[in-house]
């Protein structure tokens, strides 16, 4: 029943390796349950505008039967309130059409005499309170509205929204980590190539953990000789005491 569809979509979507895979699984499972041969996904425009863009994610049981509809759909964007997807974008709620060929606001039916479909419904995928995508489904016959089906589809949309949200968060984290790495590499390069000596000590033991190329040239020591050593390995105790005391003052400030 519908509850089982809800559970299967939830499990499969959470186990999917990508957003596209999760959406495709949902398309296939919903079409399998309803017996409707056509399912498709629209995504909100990547710049955040209130426009839905067609994807190439489909469930088509008879591709040749619905080729005209597929071709028109993949060339059509929908603004708020326009067509079935636009209505869902405007209302953020599931919507049903008894017969798209008789619907005054179904542009794709007006572009072709026979697009192979009649009954249709669509529901939103919501992320952070905003419609991020719309899934639409169609049958070859007129179909009376099914409120319970629409209610379950609304819940599935919420589940898929969480999948998209997690994927977006993961992508943002990866971008952040990449930026940190790039910044560190840049700073490493700058420090290494500075004409003046640069060294770094660890805070716990005040031992040298880094020397740049100029540091090697100015001290006459290789990095292998310098790293892991302290001021006491290179200076008289009184002078080393002075350097260490100065470092501890800096750390305490």
pLDDT tens by residue, 187-213 = 777 777 878 888 888 888 888 888 888
* Per-run averaged pLDDT (10 residues), the chain, 253 residues: 82 83 94 95 85 96 93 95 95 95 90 88 93 96 93 92 78 64 73 81 86 83 85 86 86 81
Question: What pLDDT was estimated at residue 76?
Answer: 94
Question: What pLDDT was estimated at residue 178?
Answer: 65
CA distance 141 to 122: 16
DSSP 82: S
DSSP 235: S
CA distance 152 to 162: 16
Asked whether the beta carbons of 142 and 98 are under 8 A apart, the reply is: yes
Asked whether the beta carbons of 69 and 58 are under 8 A apart, the reply is: no
Query: What are the backbone dihedrals phi and psi of residue 163, each rounded to the nearest 5 degrees, phi first?
Result: -65, -45
User: Tokens 């993961």 label which residue?
Assistant: 170
| pTM of the predicted model as reported, rounded to 2 decimal places | 0.68
């Amino acid at each position: 029943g519908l509850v089982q569809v809800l559970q299967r979509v939830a499990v499969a979507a959470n186990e999917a390796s990508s957003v596209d895979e999760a959406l495709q699984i949902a398309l296939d499972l919903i079409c399998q349950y309803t017996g409707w041969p056509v399912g498709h996904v629209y995504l909100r425009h990547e710049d955040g505008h209130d426009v839905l863009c067609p994807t190439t994610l489909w469930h088509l049981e008879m591709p040749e039967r619905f080729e005209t509809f597929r071709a028109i759909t993949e060339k059509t964007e929908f603004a708020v309130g326009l067509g079935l997807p636009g209505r869902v974008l405007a209302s953020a709620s599931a919507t049903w059409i008894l017969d798209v060929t008789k619907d005054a606001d179904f542009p794709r039916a007006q572009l072709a005499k026979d697009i192979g479909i009649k009954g249709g419904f669509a529901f939103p995928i919501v992320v952070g309170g905003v419609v991020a995508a719309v899934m639409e489904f169609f049958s070859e016959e007129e179909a009376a509205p099914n409120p319970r089906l629409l209610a379950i589809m609304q819940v599935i949309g919420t589940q898929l929204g969480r999948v998209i949200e997690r994927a977006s968060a993961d992508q943002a984290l990866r971008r952040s980590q990449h930026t940190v790495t790039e910044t560190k590499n840049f700073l490493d390069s700058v420090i290494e190539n500075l004409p003046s000596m640069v060294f770094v000590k660890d805070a716990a033991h005040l031992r040298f953990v880094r020397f740049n190329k100029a540091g090697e040239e100015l001290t006459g020591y290789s990095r292998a000789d310098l790293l892991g050593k302290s001021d006491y390995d290179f200076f008289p105790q009184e002078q080393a005491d002075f350097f260490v005391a100065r470092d501890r003052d800096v750390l305490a400030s």
